[in-house]
Amino acid sequence: MEALRIAFLHGLVAIALVGPLVWLAGSGRGRAAVVALALAGGVAGALFAYAPAGSRLPMETVLLKGGTAWAGLCLLLAVMDVTVLGTLRRRYPAVRLGMVLALAATILPLDGIDLVRQVRTLVFMKETSAPWAWAGLGLLAAAASGWLISWVFRRFGARRYATMWSYLLVAPVVRLAIQPSVIPNLESIVSRVAHDGMHVLVLLIQLPDHAYLSSGVWTAIGLVFMSTTGLLLNVAVYVGVAAFVLVRQASKPLPLREDENPAQRRRRWTTLKTQRRLTFLPIYVAMAMFAVLAYTTWAATGTPKTPTPATLPAGGIEVASLADGELHSYVFGRSSDKRVIAIHKPDGSYSVCLDACLVCPPDGYARFGTDLFCLYCGTPIPLGTVGQPGGCNPIPLTFTQSAGRLVFDQTQAEVAWQGANSGK
């Protein structure tokens, strides 16, 4: 039954996001085919994107950054709609279909990935494949609900008040409000692309990478990946789209029609005014949501906490000492000049890593809100990815947990520290 509930909610969100677009773009009997193709595109996209979307990140961070990426997509759509593509969309059904498919392939994988992941977890825990059947039923129920919603909309003539613009403004709000849990998948992809893209850019312009840049430069670069930056970017992009829509709507004249009388023209003008009011509504909702997110982000972050290195206990790190969820640092080795960090993460797992990464000089890490921060370059590392190897992440150590202690091989850790200390 849990799988049914999850699949039903995912299905509803998919319908809420793709349905209106199909509704606005399609027509007549072709609309059902467009819906089917859009869903098929979504499933294919989900399967394609499942592998790289690995980790689950802290909700607050990913909500903000995921929202940013989503708002960016909407901005792109808005630009597309006022350019030649918008004209082509209105004129040629094939272009409409292509846009819908492209959007479905962009939007739906997030739902698909999350759904597959949650159902697989249920299958693993319950040791039965029944959740897949329940999930299928849930999707069918969602499809039936979608049809019902569509019928109600048609019944009350809502088509008159819905525009592509209202869709663009509503979609991010729906995504932010109803289902933030799918954002981690988007966040994984966006962060990966942004991070790797930046390295490639630096190399392309033939600048030495990473450790050869000053810490000030890296601190500036790190700002790009901060949660607060994500929030500000999100607001900026959304306000940009909203302002664009406001200006466009406000300056849009009512086109004259030769075959209408003054009363019909008044009626059309009234409908347009209602459309505008409804278009602006999600702007207010989104602004309120951003305000709440800004407050919770600000309240959660506080000040950076740099751990004071303690001597590594002889029998290993005591699990009980990590119960506070804070970052702990220990010195080890013959000259006590090497450090490891350990943390009990929000998802319940433990991580033991060197207090250094593969690229920067080993200045170590501090905790700041839901991230670790590199004290050298300022790059934030979301807590959810601590323990994964590579790049700016602290170098993870293999450890065992026994008798309430986390134990790692100090000799191997010393070798790894040498590699870290030499930089790239």
**Residues in touch with other proteins (CB under 8 A):** 261-264, 266-267, 269-270, 273
CB 235 within 8 Å of CB 290: yes
Q: Please, what is the minimum distance in Å from the beta carbon of residue 262 to other proteins?
A: 5
Cβ-based nearer residue to other proteins, 269 or 295: 269
**DSSP string covering 163-192, please?**
-HHHHHHHHHHHHHHH-GGGHHHHHHHHHH
Give whichever of 126 and 266 is closer to other proteins, judged by the CB atom.
266
Structural tokens at position 183: 């954002």
Instruction: Between 261 and 308, name the residue whose CB sits nearer to other proteins.
Output: 261
Which strand (E) or helix (H) includes residue 312?
A: none
Shorter beta-carbon distance to other proteins: residue 51 or 263: 263
Cβ of residue 248: shortest distance to other proteins, in angstroms?
A: 22
For other proteins, give the closer residue by CB, 267 or 424: 267
CB of 44 to other proteins, least distance (A): 43
| C-alpha separations of 74 from 37, 230, 265, 293, 422 in Å | 21, 16, 32, 20, 44
Nearest-CA neighbor of 20 among 124, 140, 155, 174?
Answer: 174
The two tokens of residue 361 are: 């000089």
Please report how close the Cβ of residue 277 comes to other proteins at its closest, in angstroms. Answer: 13
Minimum CB distance to other proteins, residue 160 (Å): 12
CB 327 within 8 A of CB 307: yes
Q: How far is the CB of 166 from other proteins (least distance, A)?
A: 21
Q: How far is the CB of 153 from other proteins (least distance, A)?
A: 16
In 24-53, which positions are buried (b, 16+ CB within 10 angstroms) versus exposed (e)?
A: bbbeeeeeeebbeebbebbbebbeebbeeb
Calpha distance 103→107 (Å, rounded): 6
Distance CA 354, CA 332 (A): 10
Give, as one character, the DSSP assignment of residue 305. B
Min dist CB 261 to other proteins, Å, is 4
Measured CA to CA in angstroms, residue 49 lies from 83, 120, 399 at distances of 30, 16, 31
Nearer to other proteins, 254 or 288 (CB): 254
Q: What is the largest CA-CA distance in the chain?
A: 93
CB closer to other proteins, 156 vs 284: 156
- For other proteins, the closer CB: 128 or 264: 264
